[in-house]
Amino acid sequence: ESPINADSVVSLARHRVWRLVWCQSRCRKADYAKRREVMHNVVASYEGKLVPLKSVTSIFKWAQSDQACAYVLVTDWREIQPFMQKLPDMSDILLPCFTVV
C-alpha cells in the first residue's frame, strides 16, 4: 500500500515550505543589513524564509542539499551568467520556480 494518503497530502499542503534565495556578492555584508531585514520580513509574511548566498557555487551547494525546497532565485546579472553556464552540467539540482534578475 502507498504511504501517501489524503491525510498526508493535506498535511504537506499545510506545511508548504519555500525560500527566497538571494544571491549577490555583498548580501551578507553589514551595509546590506537593512535590505536583508526588509527582505526577510516580506518573505516571512508569506511564510517563506530568506536564504542569502554570496555566489553561484553557494546556490548549487544549497540546491543539492537536504535543505533545498521550492525557491525563487533573486540575483544580479553578474551572478546569473555563471549560473546559466553551469546549469546544463548540473542535472541533480533543484531548479528555481522563478528567477528574478
pTM, rounded to two decimals: 0.80
Q: In what order do the strands lie in the sheet with 98-100?
A: 49-53, 18-23, 70-75, 98-100
pLDDT in the model for residue 8: 47
pLDDT in the model for residue 5: 52
Chain segment 43-70, per-residue pLDDT in tens: 999 989 999 999 999 999 999 998 889 9
Classified as helix, coil or strand, 58 is: helix
